[in-house]
Amino acid sequence: MTDQRPDVFGGVDTHADTHHAAVVDPIGRHLGDAQFPTTSDGYRALLARLHSFGTVLAVGVEGTGSYGTQLARVLAAAGLQVFDINRPDRRMRRQLGKSDPIDAYAAAEAVASGRVGIVPKTHAGAAEGLRVLHNARTSAMKARTQAINQIRSLLVTAPDTLRSQLRGLAPAELISLCARLRPTPNLADPTAAAKFALRRLARRYQDLAGEISDYDVELTALAGQAAPTLLAVNGVGPETAARLLAAVGDNPERLRSEAAFAHLCGAAPLPASSGRRDRHRLNRGGNRSANAALYRIAVVRMQHDRRTRGYVARRTAQGLQKKDIIRCLKRYIAREVFRALTCTNITKTDFTQGA
């Protein structure tokens, strides 16, 4: 007669250098906890520790999109069911305090009780590549904007002989002229120092512009390879597709429905009813980058899509403001984008019916 191994649940509190893992049984009794380094050997030791208590049914991991990304990959590769755990609420922390073992046990208890059901992104495919490239592109865009703002700020206090030469120019011409400035070696002269700084800033701007162009080429190719059906949606370009794919991940099947996707993007209104008052309020949560992508699609369609312009005109006649109309459009667009992301047939959003 063989002994049957007991069922157990794991929880992990993640950090940059260490992970703290805990194990509970199905009724929440604490079985053990330990700390492991965030290395290959540490991940293997953590996995072995979980299995030493019994048959692991599921593991809750905090921060599967940051410190727990690699651990989630390792656990999923080992065939374990992984759930993403939000940090404990403030009320619980006031009652129990804060420590790595407490948070690890709280994660395990949340999985054992069935309170969590968020399947994390796999971070192991084209969507993850798009996320990395898009984040780097965004950083380069911000640095380029900062460079030209510094140029304009420097011109405010530059000597008049230099300022009159560069005043009123379009950005492209301003950058081109500043990049060709030839300062004298005497940087104690304010004019020479200003020319030196302007030339460096302008060349930095040009380098960043080239870097952004390289990112655009790679994003276009990778987005076309990863989600051709998404790029076929009206108003979706490579940069917008990268935002949406990064939000969904390489396993869009983890989203139960298009309503779940809309909630992920912050495009689903939240109920705020009480008594006889039935109302909804704006959802300010969700992935704000994906929400911005839906906004961009809505604006593009409002400018170039005949059917969307007709919808806007009809809703405006009903008394809705532009911002409210855009919110309605984002909810419709989220439905269409979800169909494209899950590789189902893309159908036209029905704007001809009343919203």
Q: What is the pLDDT of residue 347?
A: 40
C-alpha span between 206 and 12 (Å, rounded):
45
Task: Examine the pLDDT at 352 and tell me if it is beyond 70.
Answer: no
Average pLDDT, the chain: 90
Q: Which of 6-10, 300-304, 346-350 has the lowest mean pLDDT?
A: 346-350
116 vs 205 pLDDT, higher one: 205
pLDDT digit string, tens, across residues 212-262: 999 999 999 999 988 899 999 999 999 999 999 999 998 888 888 999 999
Q: What percent of the chain has pLDDT over 70?
A: 93
> What's the CA angle centered on 187, arms 186 and 193, to 5 degrees?
135
Average pLDDT for 32-42: 96
Cα-based angle 72, 78, 84 (whole degrees, multiple of 5): 25
Looking at residue 355, its pLDDT comes to 41
pLDDT tens digit sequence for 147-157: 999 999 999 99
Position 93 pLDDT exceeds 90: no
β-pair type (7-14, 18-24): antiparallel
* Percent of the chain predicted with pLDDT > 90: 75
Query: Measured at the alpha carbon of residue 154, what is the angle toward residues 152 and 155, in degrees to the nearest 5?
Result: 65
SS3 state at 33: strand
Output the pLDDT for position 258.
Answer: 92
Residue showing tokens 């208590």 = 53
First to last CA, the chain: 65
What pLDDT score does 29 carry? 94
Please say whether the beta carbons of 346 and 340 come within 8 A: yes
pLDDT of 349 > 90? The answer is: no
* pLDDT band, very low/low/confident/very high, at 3 (cuts 50, 70, 90): low
Q: Which of 60, 63, 57 is nearest to 21 (CA)?
A: 60
8 Å CB contact between 140 and 211: yes
Tell me the β-bridge partners of 23.
Answer: 10, 32
pLDDT (tens digit, 9 = 90+) per residue, 162-195? Answer: 999 998 899 999 999 999 999 999 999 999 999 9
The reported pLDDT for the residue numbered 351 is 43
Nearest-angstrom CA–CA distance, 84 and 61? 5
Q: Where is average pLDDT lowest: 32-41, 97-106, 213-222?
A: 97-106
| pLDDT, tens only, 295-346 | 999 999 999 999 999 999 999 999 989 999 999 999 999 999 999 988 643 3
Tokens of 344: 């189902």
Instruction: Name the β-bridge partners of 8.
Output: 56
Q: What is the pLDDT of residue 253?
A: 86
pLDDT of residue 1: 44
pTM for the model = 0.82
Which pair of structure tokens corresponds to residue 41? 């050997």
Per-residue burial over 15-47, b if 16 or more Cβ lie within 10 Å, else e, is: eeeebbbbbbbeeeeebebeebebeeebbeebb
Beta carbons within 8 Å of 219's beta carbon, 6+ residues apart = 130, 133, 134, 137, 238, 239, 242
- C-beta separation of 33 from 20 below 8 A: yes
Q: How many CB atoms lie within 10 A of CB 3?
A: 5
Q: What is the 3-state secondary structure (H, E, C) of 138-202?
A: HHHHHHHHHHHHHHHHHHHHCCHHHHHHHCCCCHHHHHHHHHCCCCCCCCCCHHHHHHHHHHHHH
Q: Read off the tokens for 158.
A: 């530059």
Torsion on CA atoms 165, 167, 170, 175, rounded to nearest 10? 60
Q: 346: which 2 tokens?
A: 């893309």
Sign of the alpha-carbon torsion through 349, 351, 353, 354 = positive
